[in-house]
Copies of this chain bind each other. A is one copy, B any other.
Amino acid sequence: MKLSTRGKYGLYAMYYLAEHRNEGPQTLQSIASTGVPKQYLEQLLGNLRRAGLVASVRGAQGGYQIAKPPDQTTILEVIDAMEGPLALSECTTDEGSCKHACQCPVRKVWQRLTESINRELAGVTLGDMFEEIDDCEATVNE
């Protein structure tokens, strides 16, 4: 089970914007400088904007800015914006998608897990990334 690159690119972009949040609008060009295809990233930023997570300024000197303080943006919001809401099985969201729907014990498990995972994702914010950049050189060489 893997996340698509959207989630990764998206979160990384949010991290970049959080890092430079006091430096005015950041252009797509500069956000993409880490190796993400620029025009693809543009689509992704569009999703983040429509989700209200980033604000954009059009025209010359324009760019993107993070919309809220980092510690008020959860990873859940970012992932949901990029990959759509977590749906382990359709029946957890769309009631009528399966005849069994109600009696099905399997469904109970999917619902329970969906809630748990969403709670985990909602419990971490962008702000958490900036805490404790702790000891790294200790374990890595070169």
Contact = CB atoms under 8 A, between A and B. Distances in A.
B121 A7 contact: no
A35 to B, nearest CB: 10
A83 B3 CA distance: 12
A120 B129 contact: no
> Which 6 A-B pairs give the minimum distances between C-beta atoms?
A105-B129, A1-B83, A116-B120, A102-B136, A3-B88, A1-B86
18 contacts: A1-B83, A1-B84, A1-B86, A2-B87, A3-B87, A7-B88, A8-B88, A11-B106, A11-B109, A12-B106, A102-B136, A102-B139, A102-B140, A103-B133, A103-B136, A105-B130, A106-B129, A109-B124
